[in-house]
Structure 1
C-alpha cells in the first residue's frame, strides 16, 4: 500500500482531531449546534416571542430565561472535565447557548441585552469557576451535577404535572425552551460518561417507539356519563333551524329571501384562530342579527379554534329576536373582546413535550403522561375561563332554536388520507368523507368541543396525531385537517350542496313525485333563490332562502394557475423538494377550493369576479395579509399583533376612501371593509335608508 502524502496525512490528522474533539465534547457541541441552528433558522414563532418579550414578559420571565443555559454550561463543564481534561477554550464552547440567546436579543429585541449581557458574563464566570472546582475534585463535582440535574428535572416535572397550564405560562415560553434544552444537554453529558448503558437504553427506547401501540386515545364521554343523543341529518337540522328563526317575518314582509350564511376558516395556527374569531365577531358587532343567520362554521386547523371560540363566547351572547339593521359600532376595539387571543397556548404543550414526554421516554412501552395534544386542548378550553361551551359534549353544543352555529371541524385520516368531519350533525359537509361521532362513523360516545377542535389542529411536531376510539375495538389516527385541504371551502361547499339538495327534494315532493330522504314537511318547502334583491316566492308556508358563503383565509395575490413573474433560477433540492412540494400542494388545494367556490357563486360571464362583486353573488370573502403583518405560525400571538389584525379585519371607514395603491395592507383593509358592508345589506331587506350597506364592490 502506497504511503500517504504529507497533504493526505494532514487531512487525516485534522479529521481525527476534529472527531476526537467532537466526541469528547459531544453534549456541548450538540447543544451549541441546536442553539445556533435556531438562531440561523429564525422560526417565525420564536422571533415573534423574542421581539415582544421585552415589552410583554413578566419580571419573573425576564429574570429566568437566561438562568437554565448558564447552569447547564457549568454542569457540562463539570461532567466533561476529566474526559479528557477541558481547556479554557472549552468554557467558551459551553457558553455558546448564552451567546446565541444574546444574539437573538440583539437582532430581535435589543432591550433584552440588559439581561442577556450580564447573564452571559455570569455564565462565563460560573463555567470557569466550575472548571477549577472540577479540576480539584472531579468526583465530587460529578455527584453534585448528577444529583442536581435529576432533582431539578423531578421538580420541574412535578410542577408541570400538577399545573400543566399554569406553571408553563408563569415561567413563559422562553424559559420553557431554555430549560428543556438545558436538561437535554445535561442528559447527553451523563450518557457520554456511561456509553454502554446509554446505548442499551437507546436501543430499548427505539424498539419501544417502533413497537408501542401509540398515544393514549383522545378522552371521550361515555354513554353512562353523557346519554346518547340522536344527531339529525344536515337537511333535517337545517329545516328545523330555519323554521325557528325569529326574524322570518321581516323578510316575508319585504318580499326578500331569507339569508343563510355558511362560513369557513382556514388553518394557520394561532393567527388563523384569531382571524376567524375577529372576522366573525366584527361582523356580529356591526350586524347584531348576524349570528341568527349564521347556520354553520367550518374550521380547519387553527381556524377550528377560532370558530369554536366565537361560537362559545360572542355568538352565545347574542339575543335572538327581531331583525336589527347594521350600524357602524363606533370603536370596534371596545365591541370585541380580544383578550382570549393573547392566551399563551405554546408554553403548556412545549413544557409537556420537553419535560413530560422526555420523562415518558424514560419508561419504554408505557405511556404515563398525557401527550401535548391533550394539554393544548385543555389550554384552548382555558381561552374562555368558566365558559362551559368550550368543553361541552359536541352533540349537545347545538340547538336549532339558538343563535350558536353548527361547528364543523375538519381532520385528516392518516391511514386513508381522506377527510373526517367532526360535528354535532349526522354527515354534515361530509360528501365523500367520513363523519364522527354521527354519520359514517357512529359512536355511542361523545367528544368534547375543545378536543374536537384541536384534533383538527394537530400539526407536527409540537403535537402528535390523535388516536380516536370510534368503537369498542376500532381506532382512527387523525391528523391536522390542513393535510387534506387547508381552507375548509370544500367541506363548506359540501354542506351548501346538502342544503340545495334538500330544496330540490322539497320541490320534487311538492309536485307529488316520490322522493327518498328526511324531508320534514314538504308541504312547507325550502326554496332556493339566486338573487337577494329580487322578489322572493313566499307563497304558502314555504321559505325562500338565499345562501351566502363567507370564506375566511389568507390574502393572496393573483389567481391559481396564473404565473405573474419570471423565475429564471429556482432553487432545487434532492432532499427538500419532496417536503416543499407536499407543503405547497397543501396550501394550493385550499386556494383552489376557495377559487372553485367563488366560481360556483359567480355569474357565468365572470367566474373569477374580476369585474367586482355584488350582493346577489352571495360570496363575501374576508382575508388577512399574513406575510405583510409578519404573523407567526404557532400558538402565541402578541396583543400588538392582535390589534393590527383587528384594524384590518373591521375597518368599515376604509371602504371607498382613497388609499395608497402600493400598500397591500391598505388595499386588503379596504376590500374587507367593502365586503362587510355588502354582507350587511343582507340584514336590510326593507332598504332602510340609514342602515349600513352597499350593493356592489369593485364595479364602476
Structure 2
C-alpha cells in the first residue's frame, strides 16, 4: 500500500508539472505572436546564414576581401539599425493590450517581456558575425596570405562583436543613465524604472508622442525609399548586399510590426489576409510586372508594341559568309565551338576567364593587328544561365575598343561589379510592394539586374549589352557581320518544358527544316530589337533572384502559343551541349554544300565541382584529341534514402535535369570524329572544369577577388595552357599545304 500511495503521489506531481509546463508553453506562444514579424525576419536570416552558399560569399566579401571601408561602415550601420528596429518594435508591441491574448498581462512572464526585445535586437549583429564565422570555416587554411587582409578581417569581426556588446549595453543600461541625467538636471524621470512598469496602451495614440512619430516616420520613409528605388534602382548600390538586406529587415520590422499592432488590437488576421490577396493577384495574373522586354525602351510592366520589319541576318547567310572568309583556300577548315554551362556568376567568371586567357595565349605566339586568332575561328557559343553571361562578356569585349589590358582582366573588372545589390534592393522594396497591388506599376528586380550588367559593361567600353542582340551581326549595308561569334543562349519554357533557343538571326526553323529538337526557336517570339542583356537574362532566370519572365509578342502573324513564360535554361539541361550539337550539324550541312570539310575544336566549360567528368583523358603531355583536368574525387554524397509517395515524383522531375546534362555531353562527345593516331588532323574536345577543395565558389550574382584568383590558379595548374595555345595556333594558322594533305 505505501508503494501504491507513492506511485499515485508521483503521478499527481508529474501531472501538475505537465500542467505547469503546458501553461508556460501557452504563455510563451502568446508572447511570440505580437513580435512575429521580427521573429520571422530573424528566422529567415538564420536559415540563409546556415544553408545558402551564396549568402556565405556575401559575408566573406563584406568582412574579409572588400578593401572598401565605407561599405563596411554601411554594414555596421545596417546591423545597428536593424537591431534597434527589431528591439523598438518588439518593446512597444508588448506595451499594447490585446484582448485575445490575456497571457500578455501575466505577471509571471514579466521577465520574458523585458528581455525578449533586447535579445532579438542584439541578435542581429550577432547573426552577421555568425554568418561570417560559418563562411570562413569553409575556406581552406592558407588563403589569407596577406597580413593586411588577415588583420582587416579580424578587426571587422571584432567590430561586429563590439556592436553586439554596445547594443546590449544600450538596451539594458539606458534607463539608469536617463534617470541619472534627469536627476542631474532636476527633471522627473523620462522612463519607468522597468519596462513592466510602463503604462499599457489600448490604442496606438496612448503609446506616447515619440513612439507614434518614430513608427509613423519609419512607415513613410519606407514608402519613400521604395519609390526612390523604383525610380533609380542603383540608389543603394554603394552599401553592398548585406547592408541592403539589413536595411530591408529594419523597415520590415518597423512597418510590418506597426501594421500588425493595429490589426492585432482589433483582432484582424492581417498577415493571413495579405497572403490571400497576393495569392489571388498572382493566380489571376493581375499584377504581373515580370514581362520580357522586347526592345530597349520597353518596361517590364508594359505590354509590347508591334515589332518593326525583321532586318536580322539569316543564319545561312551568316554561316556562308563566315565559311567563305575563314575557310578560303583550306581543304580542312578549323572551327572552334564553345559550350558554357550554367552556374550564376561563378559560371560567367570561369567562362570569360578561360576564353580570355586562352585567346591571349594564342595571340601572344603570333601578334598581329585585327581579330585574335582564337576569336576569328570561334564560330558559335552555346550558353546556359551564367555561362550565357560569360559568353556575352567575352564577345562584348572582343567588339569593344581595346584599352591595353588583357581580356581576362577586363572581364574580371566587368564581372566584379556588385550585380546582387540592385536586384536585392528592388526585390525587398519595389517587387515586395508590387505583390500586394492590383495592376503592374513598376519595373521588376530582373530589370535592375540587366541595368547593372549594362552599366558595368559600359564602364569597360562595352555598349553591346544595352543594344539589340542582332546589332553586332549586321553591317550598315544589311549584309551579315561575321566579326562576332554567334551566340545561342538557352532558356526554358514553363508550361511546355522545352528549350527556348535565343540567337541574333531570323527564325531558323521553317516547314522544310527543323533544327531544334523539342525546342522553340526564340527568334519567332522575340522582337528583332530585343537587347542582348534581356536575352542573357532569359537564359539566367534562376528563381528567385531572377523571376520567371512572361514573354508576349505583338507580331503578325503571332506564333503559337502567343505567350510563353521563361525560366533559367538549366531547368531543361545545364550544359548547353544539346544546342551546340544542333548548331554543329547545321554548319556541317552548309559546309557540305560548298564541298568544305571541317575540323571541330570544342571547348566545353563547366563550373560545378561535383560534376562527374565525361572526358577520361588527363595526361597533360597528351592533351589531344581529348583532355580534362584530373580533379580529386568529390566527397561522396550521403546514401540516398527512398522518398515518400508524395515527394518521389517531384524529386524525380528535379533530378532528371542533371541526367539530361550528362546525356547531352555524351552525345556531343560522340558526334566528334577524332584521329587517335594523328590527333591534330581530327576533331578535338577540351573540357575546362573547376575542381573542388579550394576557395568556395557559390552561384550568386556577386563575386570576390579571391574567387577570381582561385580560378586563375586552377586554370594555370590544371591545364597545359602554353601547349594548348601552340596547338591551337598550329590548327588555326592558314597553312594551305598542310590542310590540303590532311586526311579526315
Question: Could you say if the C-alpha distance between residues 283 and 318 of structure 1 is closer, same or farther in structure 2, counting changes exceeding 3 Å?
Answer: farther
2:465 counterpart (390, 393, 410)? 390
- State the distance in 2 between where 1:5 and 1:612 align: 86
Shift in Å, 1:573: 5.6
Answer with 1 or 2: which has the greater Rg. Answer: 2
Shift in Å, 1:433: 4.4
Alignment pair present for 1:347 and 2:416: no
Shift in Å, 1:444: 5.5
Question: Could you say if the C-alpha distance between residues 614 and 599 of structure 1 is closer, same or farther in structure 2, counting changes exceeding 3 Å?
Answer: farther
Partner of 2:155: 111
Q: Do the aligned partners of 1:74 and 1:130 also contact (CA within 8 Å) in 2?
A: no
Q: Do the aligned partners of 2:336 and 2:602 also contact (CA within 8 Å) in 1?
A: yes
1:445-500, Cα deviation, whole Å (9 max, x unpaired) = 53111101111000011121011122357321111001011110100000011112
Partner of 1:455: 538
Q: Do the aligned partners of 1:298 and 1:491 also contact (CA within 8 Å) in 2?
A: yes
- Structure 1 length normalisation: TM-score? 0.78
Q: Do the aligned partners of 1:70 and 1:120 also contact (CA within 8 Å) in 2?
A: no
Shift in Å, 1:40: 2.3
Question: Could you say if the C-alpha distance between residues 360 and 345 of structure 1 is closer, same or farther in structure 2, counting changes exceeding 3 Å?
Answer: same
Question: Could you say if the C-alpha distance between residues 130 and 373 of structure 1 is closer, same or farther in structure 2, counting changes exceeding 3 Å?
Answer: farther
Alignment pair present for 1:151 and 2:220: yes
**Which stretch of the first structure deviates more once superposed, 639-648 or 100-109?**
100-109
Partner of 1:541: none
Partner of 2:89: 76
1:217-270, Cα deviation, whole Å (9 max, x unpaired) = 22223999985334444333211222133xx46xx3xx6522111211110000
Partner of 1:596: 667
Partner of 1:322: none
1:659-694, Cα deviation, whole Å (9 max, x unpaired) = xxxxxxx4xx235665454433312354999xxxxx
Alignment of 1:174-323 (within 5 A): 174-193=242-261, 194-195=263-264, 196=268, 198=270, 199-213=272-286, 214-221=288-295, 227-245=308-326, 248=327, 252=329, 256-287=331-362, 288-316=372-400
Question: Could you say if the C-alpha distance between residues 337 and 443 of structure 1 is closer, same or farther in structure 2, counting changes exceeding 3 Å?
Answer: closer
Q: Do the aligned partners of 1:63 and 1:115 also contact (CA within 8 Å) in 2?
A: no
Alignment pair present for 1:417 and 2:497: yes
Question: Could you say if the C-alpha distance between residues 587 and 434 of structure 1 is closer, same or farther in structure 2, counting changes exceeding 3 Å?
Answer: closer
Alignment pair present for 1:496 and 2:584: yes
1:363-385, Cα deviation, whole Å (9 max, x unpaired) = x2122221111111111112211
Gaps of 5+ in 2: 1-11, 97-103, 105-109, 137-152, 176-190, 200-205, 299-303, 363-371, 475-479, 510-514, 617-632
Q: Do the aligned partners of 1:259 and 1:682 also contact (CA within 8 Å) in 2?
A: yes
- State the distance in 2 between where 1:127 and 1:571 align: 48
2:241 counterpart (160, 173, 187)? 173
**Equivalent residue of 1:70, what SS?**
helix
**Which stretch of the first structure deviates more once superposed, 468-477 or 672-681?**
672-681
Q: Do the aligned partners of 1:264 and 1:550 also contact (CA within 8 Å) in 2?
A: yes
Q: Do the aligned partners of 1:345 and 1:376 also contact (CA within 8 Å) in 2?
A: yes
Alignment pair present for 1:431 and 2:499: no
- State the distance in 2 between where 1:454 and 1:564 align: 31
- State the distance in 2 between where 1:110 and 1:458 align: 37
Alignment pair present for 1:639 and 2:639: no
Question: Could you say if the C-alpha distance between residues 425 and 485 of structure 1 is closer, same or farther in structure 2, counting changes exceeding 3 Å?
Answer: same
Question: Could you say if the C-alpha distance between residues 276 and 337 of structure 1 is closer, same or farther in structure 2, counting changes exceeding 3 Å?
Answer: closer
- State the distance in 2 between where 1:29 and 1:444 align: 46
Partner of 2:368: none
Alignment of 1:687-698 (within 5 A): none
Alignment pair present for 1:360 and 2:369: no
**Which stretch of the first structure deviates more once superposed, 416-425 or 564-573?**
564-573
- State the distance in 1 between where 2:90 and 2:389 align: 45
Shift in Å, 1:596: 2.0
Alignment pair present for 1:9 and 2:80: no
Question: Could you say if the C-alpha distance between residues 396 and 464 of structure 1 is closer, same or farther in structure 2, counting changes exceeding 3 Å?
Answer: same
1:53 counterpart (53, 58, 62)? 62
Question: Could you say if the C-alpha distance between residues 567 and 313 of structure 1 is closer, same or farther in structure 2, counting changes exceeding 3 Å?
Answer: closer
Partner of 1:518: none
- State the distance in 1 between where 2:114 and 2:720 align: 63
**Equivalent residue of 2:338, what SS?**
strand
Q: Do the aligned partners of 2:318 and 2:481 also contact (CA within 8 Å) in 1?
A: no
**Equivalent residue of 2:500, what SS?**
strand
Partner of 2:689: 623
Shift in Å, 1:348: 0.7
Partner of 1:161: 230
Partner of 2:301: none
Q: Do the aligned partners of 1:231 and 1:425 also contact (CA within 8 Å) in 2?
A: yes
- State the distance in 1 between where 2:554 and 2:359 align: 39
Partner of 2:619: none
Question: Could you say if the C-alpha distance between residues 307 and 591 of structure 1 is closer, same or farther in structure 2, counting changes exceeding 3 Å?
Answer: same
- State the distance in 2 between where 1:290 and 1:560 align: 23
**Equivalent residue of 1:24, what SS?**
coil
Q: Do the aligned partners of 1:305 and 1:380 also contact (CA within 8 Å) in 2?
A: no
2:730 counterpart (669, 681, 696)? 681
- State the distance in 2 between where 1:334 and 1:154 align: 42
- State the distance in 2 between where 1:318 and 1:82 align: 65
1:98 counterpart (105, 125, 130)? 125
- State the distance in 1 between where 2:678 and 2:658 align: 25
2:412 counterpart (306, 315, 338)? 338
Partner of 1:380: 453
Shift in Å, 1:645: 1.6
- State the distance in 2 between where 1:28 and 1:334 align: 44
Q: Do the aligned partners of 1:419 and 1:481 also contact (CA within 8 Å) in 2?
A: yes
Q: Root-mean-square deviation (CA), in Å?
A: 3.6
Q: Do the aligned partners of 1:318 and 1:403 also contact (CA within 8 Å) in 2?
A: no
Question: Could you say if the C-alpha distance between residues 461 and 644 of structure 1 is closer, same or farther in structure 2, counting changes exceeding 3 Å?
Answer: same
Partner of 1:551: 604
1:538-567, Cα deviation, whole Å (9 max, x unpaired) = xxxxxxx32222211136444499x99987
**Which stretch of the first structure deviates more once superposed, 351-360 or 470-479?**
470-479
Alignment of 1:570-581 (within 5 A): 570-571=640-641, 574=644, 581=652
- Structure 2 length normalisation: TM-score? 0.74
Q: Do the aligned partners of 1:346 and 1:636 also contact (CA within 8 Å) in 2?
A: yes
Partner of 2:148: none
- State the distance in 2 between where 1:368 and 1:630 align: 39
Q: In the comparison of the two structures, how many residue pairs are matched?
A: 610
- State the distance in 2 between where 1:566 and 1:351 align: 38
Q: Do the aligned partners of 1:412 and 1:478 also contact (CA within 8 Å) in 2?
A: yes
Shift in Å, 1:630: 1.6
Q: Do the aligned partners of 2:492 and 2:569 also contact (CA within 8 Å) in 1?
A: yes
1:58-107, Cα deviation, whole Å (9 max, x unpaired) = 33321222233223133223431314472234411332222211222444
Question: Could you say if the C-alpha distance between residues 38 and 573 of structure 1 is closer, same or farther in structure 2, counting changes exceeding 3 Å?
Answer: farther
- State the distance in 2 between where 1:566 and 1:121 align: 42
Question: Could you say if the C-alpha distance between residues 411 and 437 of structure 1 is closer, same or farther in structure 2, counting changes exceeding 3 Å?
Answer: closer
